[in-house]
């Protein structure tokens, strides 16, 4: 049902002396193999950026670094929008991988909880789980949806879904339900108003908020210029 672990060359840690560094290396190999054909905004390099950013934020926090790294590496192992909306596949794949690495039950449960609660999902769902580690990984994931990278990812996914760049007659709708948000087919510019511009005020950590402010300003400048170029003003 899931990616066959025996097709990936892992060095198995022992349960009596869990080698956290080796488990991280195995997680990297697993994610790279699993997402090798993924859409460009949700591929290994998205994971890489979130992982790097999460580690940077974690340096200013007191969370569990091992949980943060695993949560970041596995958070999008099976994004529901590429699996017919099924939100259970990602957590199940992550749990299966972590168990194959003999990760302890508490850490496994924590990472799975991060994956189950990290998504924006239209911004209307309340999280049923909270932890500092989730806050860190969620900030890192949201930061990758902002700024220059966020703009590139938005239009890359819009092209992948054959969406219009912009249609002045189709207005952004901030009142979409979770299901409407997931099935959204509106122009990509609308996504800035329905998600990307909302992220700055939804960051959790001090470091995340600081980074988000700069990326938010960049997106504002970009959209202002987009409209002017659209009308041939500059």
> What number is the average pLDDT over the span 37-58?
96
Q: What is the DSSP letter of 75?
A: T
> What number is the average pLDDT over the span 59-85?
92
Find residue 17's DSSP bridge partners: 14
> Which one, of 191, 200, 151, lies nearest residue 172 by Cα?
191
Query: Which pLDDT does position 128 carry in this prediction?
Result: 81
Look at 15-19, 51-55, 183-187, 210-214 and tell me which has the smallest mean pLDDT: 15-19
Query: Which pLDDT does position 186 carry in this prediction?
Result: 94
pLDDT over threshold 50, residue 214: yes
CATH code of domain 5-230: 1.10.3210.50
CB-CB contact of 47 with 31 (8 Å): yes
Q: In the chain, what are the domain boundaries?
A: 5-230
Q: Which one is predicted more confidently, 9 or 132?
A: 132
> Which one, of 49, 37, 138, lies nearest residue 82 by Cα?
37
Query: Which pLDDT does position 97 carry in this prediction?
Result: 98
Query: Which pLDDT does position 178 carry in this prediction?
Result: 74
Q: Which one is predicted more confidently, 124 or 60?
A: 60
Look at 2-6, 75-79, 130-134 and tell me which has the smallest mean pLDDT: 2-6
Find residue 14's DSSP bridge partners: 17
CB-CB contact of 49 with 95 (8 Å): no
Q: What radius of gyration do the chain's Cα atoms show?
A: 18
pTM: predicted TM-score of the whole model, two decimal places: 0.89
Please classify residue 157 by burial: count the beta carbons closer than 10 Å to its beta carbon, then call 0-12 exposed, 13-18 middle and 19+ buried: middle
Task: Report the C-alpha gap between 121 and 149 in whole angstroms.
Answer: 20
pLDDT over threshold 60, residue 3: no
Task: Report the C-alpha gap between 189 and 178 in whole angstroms.
Answer: 19
């Amino acid at each position: 049902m899931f990616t066959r672990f025996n097709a990936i060359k892992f060095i198995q840690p022992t349960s009596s002396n869990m080698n956290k560094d080796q488990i991280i290396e195995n997680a990297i190999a697993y994610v790279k193999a699993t997402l090798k054909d993924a859409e460009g905004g949700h591929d290994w390099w998205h994971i890489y950026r979130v992982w790097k950013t999460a580690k940077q934020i974690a340096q200013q926090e007191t969370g569990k670094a091992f949980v943060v790294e695993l949560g970041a590496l596995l958070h999008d192992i099976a994004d529901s929008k590429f699996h017919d909306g099924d939100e259970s596949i990602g957590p199940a794949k992550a749990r299966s991988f972590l168990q194959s690495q003999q990760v302890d039950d508490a850490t496994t449960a924590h990472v799975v909880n991060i994956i189950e609660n990290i998504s924006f999902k239209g911004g209307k769902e309340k999280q049923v789980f909270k932890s500092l580690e989730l806050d860190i990984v969620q900030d890192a994931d949201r930061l990758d949806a902002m700024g220059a990278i966020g703009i590139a990812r938005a239009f890359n996914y819009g092209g992948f879904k054959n969406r219009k760049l912009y249609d002045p007659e189709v207005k952004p709708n901030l009142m979409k339900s979770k299901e409407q948000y997931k099935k959204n087919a509106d122009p990509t510019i609308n996504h800035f108003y329905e998600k990307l511009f909302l992220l700055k005020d939804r960051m959790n950590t001090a470091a995340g908020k600081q980074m988000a402010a700069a990326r938010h300003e960049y997106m504002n400048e970009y959209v202002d210029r987009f409209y002017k170029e659209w009308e041939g003003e500059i």
